[in-house]
Amino acid sequence: MNLLLLILIPLFTAVAVLLTRNNQQVKWISLTGASIQLIAAIVLFIAYRAEVAAGNTAQMLFQQQYNWFPSWHISLHLGVDGISVAMILLTAFVVIAGVLVSWNVEKMTKEFYFLLILLSLGAYGFFISLDLFVLFFFLEIAVIPKYLLIGIWGSGKKEYSANKLALMLMGGSALVLVGLMAVYFSMPERTFDLLQLSQLHIPIATQKIFFPLLFVGFGVFTALFPFHTWVPDGHSSAPTAGSMFLAGISMKLGGYGCLRVATYIMPDGAKEYANIIIILSTIAILYGAFATMMQKDLKYINAYSSVSHCGFVLLGIGMLTKVSITGAVMQMVSHGLMTALFFAVIGMIYERTHTRQVDEMGGLLKVMPFTISVLFIVGLCSLGLPGLSGFVAEMTVFMGSWEHTDSFHRIATILACMSIVVTAVYILRAVSKTAMGPIKASYSNLTDATWNEKAAAIILLAGIIAIGVAPSWLTDLIKPAAEIIIQKIVAVK
C-alpha cells in the first residue's frame, strides 16, 4: 500500500477543483475525489489487517521515506499503525459525508470545496507522518481553511468566531512547535523522526518541562479544559460541512497528537502529569454535560456535548492503561462519526425551518421522517445506547479507568460515569421537543432529506452501527498499537 496516495488524491482533487469553472462539475469532482479517498482508506484497512494476520509485527507498516531538508534532518517519513488506520478511516467517512451535505452550496462553490479538500489533505498527512516537523506542517494546513470556511460561509458572529478559533488553534500550534523544537535540540543526535525518538530516551528534565507544552498544545485542538472556549463559537458559526470537519476530524488531530507525540515520546512526562490530565478531563466531562443542559440551540447543544465527549478521550489517555488508551481511540472514532452526523442533521433541519432553537420546533417527525429518525439514532448514540458506537467506546474508557484500584482514579471514573445521566436528560429533551408534539402550520409543507443528504447520513450511520454491533474489528486494530505505547509507560521507573 503506497501511503503517498493518501496525500496525492486530495492534492490532485484540489487542483482539479481550482481548474474547473462549472459549479456542478466542481461538486462531482469533489465527490469523486472523496469516493476515491474512501476506497483507498478501506483498501489500507484491509491491507493492514492482512499484514498483521500474516505475522508482520513491525511497529509501523507500509513505511516510505523521502528526503526533504537533510541538513535539518527532516524527511517525508510515512507509516501507519492501527491507531493511524482508524483515524484515516474516520477521516474518509467524514469527508465524503461533508461533500454530500454541501451539495446546495452556491456561494463561491469552487473555493468552498477547495478548502474542504485542503482540510482532508492536512488530516491525512498528519495521521501518516512519522516525522514530527512534517506532522506539524500538515497540522497547520488543517488550521487555515477552518478560519476561511467560518469567516466566509459561516453564520451569526462568524467573524468573531473565526478569529477566536484561529487565534486559539494557532496558540496551540505555537506550544506544539516550541515543544517539538525543544525535543529536537535536546537530543545528542538531532532528529524529528518519531521512531528514532521513541528508541532514544529524552532527558527527564526536558520531559517535565516540555511535555505540558506538547500536551496542552495538542489539547487545545481537542477541547482540553479550560482551553475549550473556541468550540461552541466555532461550531455554531461554521457552515454545516465546516462543523462536521471541525468536530469530526479536527478535534481528533489534538487527541491523536496528545497520544502519538506527547505521551509516546515523553512517557516520563506523561506519568508525571497524569493526575492533572485526569482532573482536567473529568472537569471537562461534567462541565460540558451540565453546560449542554442550559443550551436551546441545537448547534450549541452538540458543541458543548463535544467538550464532554472529548473529555473521555483525554481521560482515557490520562489513565495510562492499555484498555483506557484503546477506549480513548475508540471514542475518537465514535465521536467523530456521531458528531459529524449530528451536525449534518442539524444542517438539514435548519435549511428547512431556518431556526436551530428547539423551543421553536415540534412535530417534525411527521414531515421529515428520515431526518428526524436519524436525529433519534444519533441522540441515542450520544447517550450511550448499547448497539451503537458511543456505548462501546465510553464503556472501554470506563473499564480501563477502573483497572486502577486507588481512590483517586476510582472517584474520577465514577464522576465521569455520572455524566451519562446528564447526557440522557439533555438529549431526550432536545430530541423530543424537535420531533414530538403538534407541528406549526409553517412547517407542515417541509420536505424530507434529499438523495445526497440521505447518502451522507447512511454512510456515517453505517460506521456508528458497525462499531456498536461488532466492535472487535476496531479494538483488534487499535490494541497492538496501544500495547506498544503502554509498554513505554510501564518501563518508566
For residues 333 and 339, give the distance between their C-alpha atoms in angstroms, rounded to a whole number: 10
Pairing mode of beta strands 61-69, 74-80:
antiparallel
Max mean pLDDT range (103-112, 125-134, 185-194, 199-208): 125-134
Checking if the pLDDT of 210 tops 80, the result is yes
Over the chain, what is the mean pLDDT?
90
pLDDT (mean) for 194-202: 86
pLDDT (mean) for 259-278: 93
Q: What is the share, in percent, of the chain residues with pLDDT greater than 90?
A: 57
pLDDT (mean) for 261-276: 92
Residue 199: the pLDDT is 85
Give whole-number Cα distances, 361 to 75, 340, 446, in Å: 54, 22, 12
Residue 229: the pLDDT is 86
397-456 per-position pLDDT tens digit: 999 999 998 999 999 999 999 888 898 888 888 888 888 888 888 888 888 889 999 999
Residue of 191, 419, 179 lying closest to 286 (CA atoms): 419
For residues 335 and 323, give the distance between their C-alpha atoms in angstroms, rounded to a whole number: 18
3-state DSSP of the chain:
CCCCHHHHHHHHHHHHHHHCCCHHHHHHHHHHHHHHHHHHHHHHHHHHHHHHHCCCCCCCEEEEEEEEEHHHCEEEEEEECHHHHHHHHHHHHHHHHHHHHCCCCCCCHHHHHHHHHHHHHHHHHHHHECEHHHHHHHHHHCCHHHHHHHHHHCCCCHHHHHHHHHHHHHHHHHHHHHHHHHHHHHCCCCCCEHHHHHHCCCCHHHHHHHHHHHHHHHHHHCCCCCCCCHHHHHHHHCCHHHHHHHHHHHHHHHHHHHHHHHHHHCHHHHHHCHHHHHHHHHHHHHHHHHHHHCCCEHHHHHHHHHHHHHHHHHHHHHHCCHHHHHHHHHHHHHHHHHHHHHHHHHHHHHHHHCCCEHHHCCCHHHCCHHHHHHHHHHHHHHCCCCCCHHHHHHHHHHHHHHCCCCHHHHHHHHHHHHHHHHHHHHHHHHHHHHHCCCCCHHHCCCCCCCHHHHHHHHHHHHHHHHHHHCCHHHHHHHHHHHHHHHHHHHHCC
Q: Would you call 106 exposed, middle or buried from its count of C-beta atoms within 10 A (0-12, 13-18, 19+)?
A: exposed
Checking if the pLDDT of 314 tops 90, the result is yes
C-alpha cell at 121: 489533505
For residues 92 and 96, give the distance between their C-alpha atoms in angstroms, rounded to a whole number: 6
pLDDT (mean) for 362-373: 90
- Asked if 118 contacts 14 with a C-beta cutoff of 8 angstroms, the reply is yes
Residue 159: the pLDDT is 86
| Phi/psi at 77 (5° precision) | -100, 115
For residues 369 and 454, give the distance between their C-alpha atoms in angstroms, rounded to a whole number: 12
Residue 18: the pLDDT is 92
13-37 per-position pLDDT tens digit: 999 999 998 889 999 999 999 999 9
Checking if the pLDDT of 492 tops 80, the result is no
Cβ–Cβ contacts within 10 Å for residue 363, how many? 18
Give whole-number Cα distances, 185 to 75, 178, 209, 213, 268, in Å: 17, 11, 14, 15, 18
pLDDT bracket for residue 493 (50, 70, 90): low
pLDDT bracket for residue 73 (50, 70, 90): confident
Checking if the pLDDT of 103 tops 70, the result is yes
239-255 per-position pLDDT tens digit: 888 888 888 888 899 99
Residue type at position 28: W
**Beta pairing partners, 129:** 78
